[in-house]
């Protein structure tokens, strides 16, 4: 973007205009993509214009609260295996590196929900799904300078057939999707997962609604296999890293603040007692303090620290004579907004009470941007919150976490990733409650 002026948006009213009120001027992210050369870039995060609108309309029904309830048992099953693995590790050690463990947990969750495949990375840290997911996020196919030039000159990048995904990563995910779809269709297999919903869209361009009526897309085009693979891929890559980082950072903060950890555990035990000791979708939704704790982690550590939009037509800023020209990138620094003391007093303090309903009402409606906002917010926010809460509930129900002599202080974040991810391991002392 060195050759293009950009707008840095910090005024909350203006941010609301960009994300919500005048969204039709800022529908695109300006993320380069080319489905022919690099098929996995044809995903909901990167697409723009009518292609994005059509796909968003088709995929939105897959992330309703009803669908989350449908997928809940699948996530819980993986969480049970996660707790089992944790128990086995604690037989020989009391200090655990939880960052990798949590990434393996979320890899298995997303692998199961997005692909319907048992990844087994909890048992095998070098499982293929874990290996390829890690490779794409931690070691992009090109260095930072080449990636920057690809973003600045996308047409030249396409002429040179440079890709944003490793070729072996693309082949792995395309093959997995093709094999999974073929197997399910030949054997008439239905499951409570994202892949089942994508197959419905591939074959019918509609989804069965919660009441088993069909939910029609505005433009009835079936998903191609390549489009299906691209959505499964972005759900996988976007889902496992964001949720595992959120859980890692939540455990870090709870290890520093034992009083907050105790309050979370007390709420978990109180609600579970009401449900005969069993975690259900309804029980999870009654654990309000646990949810506030996850939201406060995302406030302090927004996993996507900068939100991108691109102006698609000349736009006059409301109440001014300033015109943002077509094609201008707009960057919204979520991390800076979340650490503005005028919005969040004492911003470095970890305080879940910031997300009590009465406190949320006192703030501007776009003061919290961890999932973006408006029509182009994170489509998977319900799933991400559900996955993080299930993981946290299952962990705190059985274990207490403390800082260890190896715990990072201060936290250092990766400069390679566009996501906010701590560098190195997260070692914590763990004991049975």
Residues flagged as binding site for heme: 378
Q: What is the DSSP letter of 223?
A: P
Per-residue tokens: 50:
């009518």
For residues 335 and 351, the answer to whether their CB atoms sit within 8 Å is: no
- Provide CB contacts within 8 A for 259, sequence distance 6+: none
Closest by alpha carbon to 370, among 349, 386, 384, 356? 384
Q: Which residues contact 94 (CB under 8 A, 6 or more apart)?
A: 429, 430, 431
CA distance 262 to 264: 5
Enter the DSSP assignment of 337: H
CA distances to 234, 301, 308 from 305, rounded to whole Å, are 18, 8, 10
* Residue 68 · residue 261 · CB < 8 Å: no
Q: 185: how many CB neighbours lie within 10 A of its CB?
A: 12
CA distance 12 to 17: 9
Q: Is 309 in contact with 19 (CB distance < 8 Å)?
A: yes
Picking from 176, 187, 224, 182, the residue whose alpha carbon sits closest to that of residue 58 is 224
- Give the residue numbers of the binding site: 378
Distances (CA, A) of 142 to 135, 151, 269: 12, 12, 48
Q: Determine the distance from the C-alpha atom of residue 253 to the mean position of all C-alpha atoms in its chain, rounded to a whole number.
A: 20
**What residues pair up with 430 in beta bridges, in sequence order?**
401
Question: For 414, how many CA atoms within 13 A lie in the half-sphere containing its CB?
Answer: 18
* 329-333 and 7-8 beta bridge pairing: parallel
Query: 3-class SS at 125?
Result: coil
């Amino acid at each position: 973007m060195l050759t293009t002026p950009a707008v840095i948006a910090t005024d909350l009213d203006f941010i609301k205009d960009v994300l919500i009120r005048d969204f039709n001027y800022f529908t695109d992210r300006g993320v380069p993509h080319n489905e022919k050369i690099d098929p996995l870039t044809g995903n909901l995060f990167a697409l723009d214009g009518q292609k994005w609108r059509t796909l968003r309309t088709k995929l939105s029904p897959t992330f309703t609260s009803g669908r989350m309830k449908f997928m809940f048992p699948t996530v819980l099953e993986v969480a049970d295996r996660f707790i089992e693995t944790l128990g086995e590790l604690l037989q020989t050690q009391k200090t655990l590196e939880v960052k990798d463990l949590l990434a393996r947990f979320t890899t298995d969750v997303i692998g199961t929900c997005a692909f319907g495949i048992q990844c087994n990375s909890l048992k095998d840290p070098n499982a293929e799904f874990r290996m390829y997911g890690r490779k794409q996020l931690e070691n992009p196919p090109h260095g930072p300078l080449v990636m920057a030039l690809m973003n600045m000159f996308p047409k030249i990048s396409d002429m040179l057939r440079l890709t944003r995904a490793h070729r072996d990563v693309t082949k792995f995910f395309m093959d997995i999707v093709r094999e999974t779809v073929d197997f399910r269709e030949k054997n008439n297999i239905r499951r409570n997962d994202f892949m089942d919903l994508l197959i419905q869209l591939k074959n019918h361009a509609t989804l069965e609604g919660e009441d088993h009526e069909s939910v029609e897309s505005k433009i009835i085009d079936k998903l191609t296999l390549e489009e299906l693979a691209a959505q499964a891929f972005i759900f996988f890559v976007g889902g496992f890293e964001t949720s595992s980082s959120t859980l890692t950072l939540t455990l870090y903060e709870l290890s520093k603040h034992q009083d907050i950890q105790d309050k979370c555990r007390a709420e978990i035990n109180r609600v579970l007692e009401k449900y005969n000791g069993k975690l259900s979708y309804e029980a999870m939704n009654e654990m309000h303090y646990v949810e506030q704790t996850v939201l406060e982690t995302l406030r302090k550590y927004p996993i996507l620290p900068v939100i991108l939009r691109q102006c698609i037509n000349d736009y006059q800023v409301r109440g001014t004579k300033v015109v943002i020209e077509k094609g201008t990138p707009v960057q919204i620094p979520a991390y800076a907004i979340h650490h503005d003391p005028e919005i969040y007093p004492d911003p470095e303090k970890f305080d879940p009470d910031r997300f009590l309903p009465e406190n949320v009402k006192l703030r501007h409606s776009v003061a919290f941007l961890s999932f973006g906002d408006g029509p182009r917010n994170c489509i998977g926010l319900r799933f991400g919150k559900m996955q993080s809460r299930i993981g946290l509930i299952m962990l705190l129900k059985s274990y207490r976490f403390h800082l260890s002599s190896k715990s990072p202080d201060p936290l250092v974040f990766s400069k390679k990733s566009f996501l906010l991810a701590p560098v190195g391991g997260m070692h914590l002392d763990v004991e049975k409650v």
